[in-house]
């Protein structure tokens, strides 16, 4: 996984630099989670929903790393008339079922898919990657109530807990205090992990289902792997200069 992660991180940086767009911080915080999920866990009968739609770049690069997208397709990122928009769009890639741009929508959609699988007797699991910002949205808590009430054990929410959102530190904007404890109070089994440790990620994703739904709370670093981006809110937005791109590539290559 180390080689896969390094190569994907380099491709992510190149894609964003060539496109001149930002959102790198949240892409880098979630990339390890996505790569481990797609390379080690996800099966054909499973489904993934990216609720934190601003991490679309990490998803596209993950699909590239599994051979589902070519380099030529990645060069379309954020261009006019592309299916690889800055946030996922439907009907463009078979791996993307829903448009998820505004936060707070993904978990409810994933819960509907999970319930549909149960009612139709279909195999497979549903995974949904959310962000800190998702959990500041009331719709996410409504979805949590729904999945807990219906005991959707085939659905695993994954929280990319990097401590930052678009306006600053999550604790300063809308403090959730202990999110793991709140999830437990809704009846979920909560697995708290380091979101940049592939072994810990894999173990949590493969946690055997029980009588209660489970959730993974992954502590991550916004801008992970690039020193001048780490834990900096502005890298939710900023594109890289040529000098910053060279510095970032050098750091990742030496990691």
Give the per-residue pLDDT at 209: 86
Q: Over the stretch 163-205, which tens digit does the pLDDT of each residue have?
A: 998 889 999 999 989 999 999 999 999 999 999 999 999 999 9
DSSP class of residue 227 equals T
- Does the structure show a pLDDT above 90 at 54? yes
Tokens of 246: 């060279």
Element containing residue 165 per DSSP (H, E): strand 164-165
Domains, the chain, ordered by start: 2-254 (3.40.50.970)
Q: Is 90 exceeded by the pLDDT of residue 114?
A: yes
- Average pLDDT in the 207-228 region? 96
* Single pTM value for the model: 0.96
pLDDT at 38: 98
Torsion over CA: 175, 34, 151, 93 (sign) = positive
Confidence of residue 101 (pLDDT cuts 50, 70, 90): confident
Quick check: 222 and 230 in contact, CB under 8 A?
A: yes
Which helix (H) or strand (E) covers residue 35, if one does? helix 24-36
- pLDDT band at 222, cuts 50/70/90? very high
For the chain, report the end-to-end CA distance as a whole number of angstroms: 13
| Average of per-residue pLDDT values in the chain | 95
């Amino acid at each position: 996984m180390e080689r896969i992660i390094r190569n994907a991180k380099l491709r992510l940086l190149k894609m964003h630099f060539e496109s001149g767009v930002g959102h790198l911080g949240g892409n880098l915080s979630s990339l390890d989670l996505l790569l481990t999920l797609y390379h080690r866990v996800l099966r054909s009968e499973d489904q993934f929903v990216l609720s934190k739609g601003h991490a679309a770049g990490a998803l596209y690069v993950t699909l590239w790393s599994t051979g589902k997208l070519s380099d030529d397709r990645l060069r379309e990122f954020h261009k006019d008339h592309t299916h690889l928009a800055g946030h996922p769009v439907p009907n463009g890639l078979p791996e993307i079922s829903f448009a998820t741009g505004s936060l707070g929508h993904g978990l409810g959609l994933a819960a509907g898919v999970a319930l549909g699988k149960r009612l139709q007797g279909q195999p497979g699991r549903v995974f949904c990657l959310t962000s800190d910002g998702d959990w500041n949205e009331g719709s996410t808590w409504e979805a949590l109530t729904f999945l807990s009430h219906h005991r959707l054990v085939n659905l695993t929410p994954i929280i990319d807990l990097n401590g930052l959102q678009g306006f600053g530190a999550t604790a300063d904007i809308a403090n959730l205090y202990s999110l793991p404890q709140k999830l437990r109070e809704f009846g979920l089994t909560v697995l708290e992990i380091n979101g940049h440790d592939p072994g810990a990620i894999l173990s949590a994703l493969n946690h055997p289902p029980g009588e209660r739904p489970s959730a993974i709370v992954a502590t991550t670093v916004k801008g992970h792997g690039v020193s001048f981006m780490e834990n900096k809110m502005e890298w939710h937005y900023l594109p890289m200069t040529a000098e910053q791109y060279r510095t970032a590539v050098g750091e990742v290559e030496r990691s």
